[in-house]
Amino acid sequence: MNESNVSQMFSRSGVNGRTRAPLLCPALMVTLCLTAIGACTERPDPFEKALDAVGGREALQELRAFSYEAAGDRFESGQSVNPEAGPIRASSFDLSLLYDVENDRLSFDWRRQVFDPLRGALAYTDVVDRDFGYQIGNNSVFNPPDTDASRALPSEHIAAVRREFRLLNPLLYLRTAAMTEGAATIKADVERDGRTYHVIEVDDPTYPVKLLVDAESGRVARLKTLQNDHIWGDVETEVSFGDWSSPEGSPLQFPHRVELAVSGQTLHTEARTDVVVNPEFAAEAFALPEGPRTQVDEVAARRGALSAQYHTRWHALGIPADQDQTFVAAAAVAGDSEIQHLTGGSHHSLAIKLGDGIVVVEPPLNEARSKAVLAKVEELWPGVPVTHLILTHHHYDHMGGIRTYAAAGATIVTSALNRTYVEEALSSPHTLVADELAGAESPEWQIEAVAPDGEFSLERGGRTVKARHVPTIHSEDLLVVHVPETRLLFVSDVYMPAVFPAGQPLLEPFSAWSQGLREQLPTFDWEVEWIVGGHGGIGSIADFLSHFDS
For residues 246 and 226, the answer to whether their CB atoms sit within 8 Å is no
For residues 246 and 53, the answer to whether their CB atoms sit within 8 Å is no
CB atoms within 10 A of CB 308: 25
CA-to-CA distance for 357 and 376, rounded, in angstroms?
15
Section 363-383 average pLDDT: 98
Name the pTM for this structure: 0.90
Section 7-26 average pLDDT: 37
pLDDT for position 256: 98
Coil, helix or strand at residue 69: strand
Task: Give me the helix-helix angle, 3-10 and 26-35, nearest 10°.
Answer: 140
Coil, helix or strand at residue 280: coil
Section 132-137 average pLDDT: 97
Coil, helix or strand at residue 156: helix
CB atoms within 10 A of CB 171: 22
Q: How far is CA 202 from CA 102, 169, 178, 526, in A?
A: 19, 13, 10, 59
Section 241-266 average pLDDT: 97
CB atoms within 10 A of CB 523: 9
CA-to-CA distance for 492 and 534, rounded, in angstroms?
4
CA-to-CA distance for 517 and 495, rounded, in angstroms?
9
Q: Is a pLDDT exceeding 90 seen at residue 291?
A: no
CA-to-CA distance for 140 and 301, rounded, in angstroms?
22
CA-to-CA distance for 317 and 114, rounded, in angstroms?
6
For residues 150 and 136, the answer to whether their CB atoms sit within 8 Å is yes
Section 163-169 average pLDDT: 98
Coil, helix or strand at residue 440: coil
pLDDT for position 120: 95
Intervals of CATH 2.50.20 along the chain:
58-317
For residues 177 and 15, the answer to whether their CB atoms sit within 8 Å is yes
- Proportion of the chain above pLDDT 90, given as a percent: 89
pLDDT for position 44: 66
For residues 114 and 317, the answer to whether their CB atoms sit within 8 Å is yes
* Gap between the terminal Cα atoms of the chain: 88
**pLDDT one-digit tens code per residue, 409-420:** 999 999 999 999
When pLDDT is cut at 50, 70 and 90, the band that residue 550 belongs to is low
Intervals of CATH 3.60.15.10 along the chain:
329-549
Section 499-511 average pLDDT: 94
Backbone angles phi, psi at 160, to 5 degrees: -70, -45
When pLDDT is cut at 50, 70 and 90, the band that residue 7 belongs to is very low
pLDDT for position 395: 98
According to CATH, the superfamily of the domain at 329-549 is: Ribonuclease Z/Hydroxyacylglutathione hydrolase-like (3.60.15.10)
When pLDDT is cut at 50, 70 and 90, the band that residue 25 belongs to is very low
pLDDT for position 406: 98
CA-to-CA distance for 184 and 438, rounded, in angstroms?
31
When pLDDT is cut at 50, 70 and 90, the band that residue 101 belongs to is very high
Section 170-196 average pLDDT: 96
Mean pLDDT of the chain: 92
For residues 231 and 259, the answer to whether their CB atoms sit within 8 Å is no
Cis, peptide link before residue 117, omega less than 30° from 0:
yes
- Proportion of the chain above pLDDT 70, given as a percent: 92
Q: Is a pLDDT exceeding 90 seen at residue 8?
A: no
Q: How far is CA 70 from the centre of its chain?
A: 21
pLDDT for position 43: 52
CA-based radius of gyration for the chain: 27
**pLDDT one-digit tens code per residue, 70-93:** 999 999 999 999 999 999 999 999
From the list 122, 106, 125, the residue with the least C-alpha distance to 114 is 122
Q: Is a pLDDT exceeding 80 seen at residue 352?
A: yes
**pLDDT one-digit tens code per residue, 339-350:** 999 999 999 999
Q: Is a pLDDT exceeding 60 seen at residue 182?
A: yes
Q: Is a pLDDT exceeding 80 seen at residue 169?
A: yes
Please report, as a single letter, which amino acid is at residue 24: L
Section 103-111 average pLDDT: 98
Query: What CATH class is the domain 58-317?
Result: mainly beta
